[in-house]
Amino acid sequence: MERLDDDARRLETWLNKGMHGTMKYMERYFDLRIDPALLVPGARSVITLLLNYFPKETQNEDALKISKYAYGKDYHEVIREKLNQLIALIKQGVGDIHGRGFVDSAPVLERTWAQRSGLGWVGKNGNLINKQMGSFFFIATLITDLDLEPDEHFAKDYCGTCTRCIDACPTDAILPGKIVDGSKCISYFTIELKEMLIPGEMKGRFDNWMFGCDICQDVCPWNRFAKPTNELEFTPIPEILDLSTKEWEMMSEEKFKTIFRHSPLSRSKLKGIQRNLKFLQSG
Ligand code: B12
Ligand code: SF4
Ligand code: SF4
């Protein structure tokens, strides 16, 4: 299995320029990100999987905007379960292999592996785009000691001369060369930035996004073909679609915990959500 040497250079530059902001975890385990055999001893193959989360339902027009990936149950929980089932199935079929499944939180360059597995290209907005599905999907990887014939890398790039995502990003986080400055992304400010105040220069630029941001995907022509997910676990929590600003303001800790216990919103806690809300109101 190859090491990701080109990606190592890209990742290093990204980190050196501070584009990870306060996401310190991105500085850790650099070697493991570049070489999965260090993460899973004996690894021979990376299997990449995509799971569509594009919802059928839309939020009420005046609701505070929440990213579509967070409408339903937390994808970490949903996908971890599926990965375990897949590992069990493979074991049934081919015997006692060693394999570990990952989604999002491990030191794995998931978009790179998806591109190398032939599943799509990295768009100018940094997302992995698939010609049939668009980009509203999660990526998971299964790193195993199975010796598999690799698929060909996805060689093409279908962004062409389009610049819609770059033009639409309200915080100018999308730079030339498929680089997204994480430290300027609304998703970073509203989800990853802990406790601290959102910088004043960002005031008035969040376009009502309270948790995450989908702008650079919503404007992407490849998402015109996105079909709704059939994953029932991603059925939207009704409050995500309907809650008014007033209801968010008045929400109690207890109510938040009950409704969002298994939702990605629990990552920000009520405190984080209300900080975002205040920031939106101040702009
Ligand atoms: C840190 C992180 C963030 C940060 C920083 C974003 C960033 N630029 O990396 C923040 C919080 C801002 C963020 C936001 C979002 N994220 Co995020 N995030 C991650 C995480 C944990 C690590 C990404 C990483 O390693 N970044 C470092 C940079 C340098 O790497 P990179 O962007 O992946 O780019 C690499 C490749 O794309 C490649 N590459 C770049 N150019 C080229 C060109 C060619 C030709 C090739 C071959 C390769 C290549 O090289 C880079 C370095 O190796 C991954 C999960 C994971 N473990 O991978 C999810 C992940 C990338 N995020 C995801 C999602 C869904 C989002 C959001 C859409 C959520 C939202 N709606 O709010 C936004 C989208 C923002 C955007 N336009 O990118 C999905 C992406 C799914 C997809 N279809 O691509 C992932 C994979 C999580 C998952 N398991 O599904 N995210
Ligand atoms: S998610 Fe929003 S803020 Fe982040 S790069 Fe895309 S458009 Fe810009
Ligand atoms: S909006 Fe255009 S440039 Fe941006 S990722 Fe989609 S196709 Fe590529």
Strands (E), 179-223: 179-180, 209-211
The reply to whether ligand 2 has any atom less than 6 angstroms from the CB of 169 is yes
Task: Kindly give the distance from the C-alpha atom of residue 82 to the centroid of ligand 1, in angstroms, as a whole number.
Answer: 22
Task: Kindly give the distance from the C-alpha atom of residue 226 to the centroid of ligand 2, in angstroms, as a whole number.
Answer: 19
The reply to whether ligand 3 has any atom less than 6 angstroms from the CB of 40 is no
* pLDDT tens digits, one per residue of 188-231: 999 999 978 899 999 999 999 999 999 999 999 999 989 999 99
Average pLDDT of the residues in 256-272: 96
Predicted model pTM: 0.97
The reply to whether ligand 1 has any atom less than 6 angstroms from the CB of 165 is no
- Asked if residue 252 has pLDDT above 90, the reply is yes
Pairing between strand 137-144 and 174-175?
Answer: unpaired
Name the residue of 154, 156, 165, 219 whose CB sits within 8 Å of the most ligand 3 atoms, as the mutation to test its pocket: 165
Q: How far is Cα 163 from Cα 151, in angstroms, rounded to an integer?
A: 29
Task: Kindly give the distance from the C-alpha atom of residue 124 to the centroid of ligand 3, in angstroms, as a whole number.
Answer: 6
Pairing between strand 179-180 and 174-175?
Answer: antiparallel
| Residues annotated as part of the active site | 104
Average pLDDT of the residues in 127-134: 97
